[in-house]
Structure 1
């Protein structure tokens, strides 16, 4: 059972030039704003007299300035996912735009909560609106959007609490992502500790793996995005979903681990939404499952990735394919990791990648005979950006290779992959727990 309630990713406000502006609350009900709410939106999002900043002003904390196009970008939508300690807000744009981020402290005398505001320069709303999204669920209280000046759109996020935040821009399509972490009070942590119930012993279950409570499995692609297509028309999205379901069932049954799938069926989920699910679920591990592809039918083997900057051409090309963007965009965006590194579980991710990869190579060599070991590598996969837990992306063979592609379409080989991944997760859990006791 989930330890927290959070909003579905499509419980959002969609801006439409052809319809009257309406924001949708997380429970799906339409809400009318009070006059006080409307005045507050105007105050912070539509009045240059309240502290508008010039485009040349330097941003405080982790604010950034991104070079943008001359034509105005249009803000077309706002999406969010919020839990008690984490929120990811995604602002959809029609093109690249410069932005600045600022943090405002709580002002109890004025009844104002801690806030973050983002100014998007050279931008316009898709329609004229001063509406707000009343959330009141988890960390995020409310989202307000307004045309602050003729060329600046301001997005204001009202928070219940605020410890840290990071903002970055992803392309194809362009979307501004704001990751926010709230304060965990001593009272809340004490309550969590008090309500913990001992895990009952399970036959065949190793206590060392108890360090892993929850895993988020991410079957890559889905819906309108089939991923790579292999021999005979087999689609990557179908194979990885099948493997994820089998692995989830085995982990839940044999390890008593709570498993969350980013998609349970053939549905499309955006890359940034997948990481947000893992963070909002407060997962201990995040595992994204994919199959490799190449223009050469001879390419084969297994490789496992963790998130980090790289100059390796092959890794950059693969990241571009999985990200659905260009090789140049991947290179240009590597800078976003520079100020996020302190929050990344880099060493743990490397350890997890090696445990999983070693288990995959050993197990599948016995099943297939010769398996080409392409190694553990690093790359900038959007699906891993911002993950607050050890996270890896596994490329389970080449779907474009006649032998490997056909093998992975068979249930027996999928079961073998599941066994190998299960073994790797268990070994990682044992090693992580052992390290904590040293």
Structure 2
């Protein structure tokens, strides 16, 4: 698959800004680059709007995705409200017939559970430019409210950022029947058990000759 990852705002457009000056544009770029890395580890093709703090118009974003013939368009944002207690994840799609409607529901469910935030559900809009002008199935994720002091504090944690990225990544990969690669997990293969040590040595040497240089007997 070829994914288009759109990291909201950037450059002269910081998007929403928290009470302590954390920018939406910086936050979604950080999360988005982790998602990009996760998808590429699974041999998925990824196109991005930006990979630095640069400004691009809404038309540029949809036009680039269309020219690249991407399969899916994913736009990342942080929400904001004058109600400082507002909290939760929501995902926007063009209409209920969208191919990614169920994916949007899964992202809401998974993020709500994994980062312990309310599930505000899937919402419909024909007003978002990136949903209206893209030719491929598209969705826009409002990860949580940067205006909420609890969320703002959490965003300063690298683990929290990684948890968000991993949850979105695993949701996207599951949609195309894949699972996220975990760099911290290693699997070992045991070839067999032998009463005669000489037989074990022969098999170990055969494994080494075929490229398994870390084969050993225990």
Is this a same-fold pair by TM over 0.5?
yes
1:230-249 equivalent positions in 2, closer than 5 A: 230-249=18-37
TM-score (norm 2): 0.77
1:279-298 equivalent positions in 2, closer than 5 A: 279-298=66-85
Greater relative contact order: 1 or 2 (C-alpha under 8 angstroms, separation 6 or more)?
A: 2
1:312-323 equivalent positions in 2, closer than 5 A: none
Aligned residue-pair number = 177
Cα distance in 1 between the residues matched to 2:139 and 2:81: 21
How far apart are residue 250 of structure 1 and its match? 1.2
TM-score (norm 1): 0.39
Cα distance in 2 between the residues matched to 1:245 and 1:417: 12
CA contact (8 A) 1:352 1:390 kept: no
Cα distance in 2 between the residues matched to 1:225 and 1:245: 19
SS of the residue 2:76 aligns to: strand
How far apart are residue 351 of structure 1 and its match? 2.1
SS of the residue 1:232 aligns to: coil
| Alignment-derived partner of residue 270 in structure 1 | 57
In structure 2, the CA distance between the partners of 1:389 and 1:359, relative to structure 1 (3 Å rule), is same
| Alignment-derived partner of residue 383 in structure 1 | 130
Cα distance in 1 between the residues matched to 2:173 and 2:60: 27
1:53-64 equivalent positions in 2, closer than 5 A: none
SS of the residue 2:11 aligns to: coil
SS of the residue 1:266 aligns to: coil
Cα distance in 2 between the residues matched to 1:373 and 1:430: 24
| Alignment-derived partner of residue 98 in structure 2 | 347
| 1:415 aligned residue (141, 153, 162) | 162
Cα distance in 2 between the residues matched to 1:275 and 1:302: 23
Deviations 1:146-201 (A, max 9, x none): xxxxxxxxxxxxxxxxxxxxxxxxxxxxxxxxxxxxxxxxxxxxxxxxxxxxxxxx
How far apart are residue 410 of structure 1 and its match? 2.2
RMSD across aligned positions (CA): 1.6
Cα distance in 1 between the residues matched to 2:119 and 2:77: 16
CA contact (8 A) 1:252 1:259 kept: yes
Cα distance in 1 between the residues matched to 2:29 and 2:13: 13
Cα distance in 1 between the residues matched to 2:118 and 2:102: 21
Cα distance in 2 between the residues matched to 1:256 and 1:419: 16
CA contact (8 A) 1:230 1:405 kept: yes
| Alignment-derived partner of residue 305 in structure 1 | 92
| Alignment-derived partner of residue 362 in structure 1 | 113
| Alignment-derived partner of residue 73 in structure 1 | none
How far apart are residue 288 of structure 1 and its match? 0.2
1:397 aligns with 2:165: no
How far apart are residue 229 of structure 1 and its match? 0.6
How far apart are residue 301 of structure 1 and its match? 0.8
1:122-141 equivalent positions in 2, closer than 5 A: none
Tell me, which stretches of 5 or more residues in structure 1 are unaligned?
1-212, 309-344, 366-370, 432-438
SS of the residue 2:176 aligns to: helix
Cα distance in 1 between the residues matched to 2:98 and 2:129: 19
